[in-house]
Amino acid sequence: MPQSKPRLYRWPIAAIFAIFILLPLTSAAQRSPNFAWQKGQLWSVQMGAGIGQRYNWHYEIVTDQYSYEASIWVTGNGLNVTQGGTIEFSFTPSGFYIKDDDGKLHKMTFERKTLR
């Protein structure tokens, strides 16, 4: 009568699978910032210095109380935003973010906050 193999070898495979699948999901949830969106008017957009195809774009967002300035290095024509239009932005511990006209998030380099 043939002997059956013990099933003990299956649990390490399941444990390794769980570690490699669940661990990245939990760490991604811890890394994602909590956005407290604010609205402002995109007051000005200026193209700054460039290196090759990449340019440093400067954005000024105005609210009732403050004026915020931020920049981002992008290839080509900058972000898909409307100058003079409403824009959503958020401060998080990891940075300053804006939503473009398509709803895409962009992490900016925050430069200045000025009282109006």
Asked whether residue 19 is domain-assigned, the answer is no
Average pLDDT estimate for 94-109: 95
Structurally, the chain folds into a number of domains equal to 1
Q: Over 50: is that where the pLDDT of 28 sits?
A: no
Asked if residues 106 and 98 have their Cβ atoms less than 8 Å apart, the reply is yes
Asked whether residue 2 is domain-assigned, the answer is no
103 three-class SS: coil
Question: Which domain covers residue 60, as residue numbers?
Answer: 38-115
Asked whether residue 83 is domain-assigned, the answer is yes
Q: Over 60: is that where the pLDDT of 25 sits?
A: no
Classify residue 68 by burial, with Cβ atoms within 10 Å: 0-12, 13-18, 19+: buried
Asked whether residue 63 is domain-assigned, the answer is yes
Asked whether residue 86 is domain-assigned, the answer is yes
Q: How many residues does the chain have?
A: 116
Share above pLDDT 70 across residues of the chain, in percent, rounded to a whole number: 72
Q: What is the pTM of this model?
A: 0.70
pLDDT digits (tens, 9 = 90+) for 55-98: 999 999 999 999 999 999 999 888 999 999 999 999 998 899 99
Asked whether residue 4 is domain-assigned, the answer is no
Asked whether residue 99 is domain-assigned, the answer is yes
pLDDT digits (tens, 9 = 90+) for 73-85: 999 888 999 999 9
Q: Over 90: is that where the pLDDT of 38 sits?
A: yes
Q: What is the pLDDT of residue 41?
A: 98
Going by their DSSP bridges, the two strands 66-75 and 105-115 should be labelled as: antiparallel
Higher pLDDT pick, 31 / 39: 39
Asked whether residue 104 is domain-assigned, the answer is yes
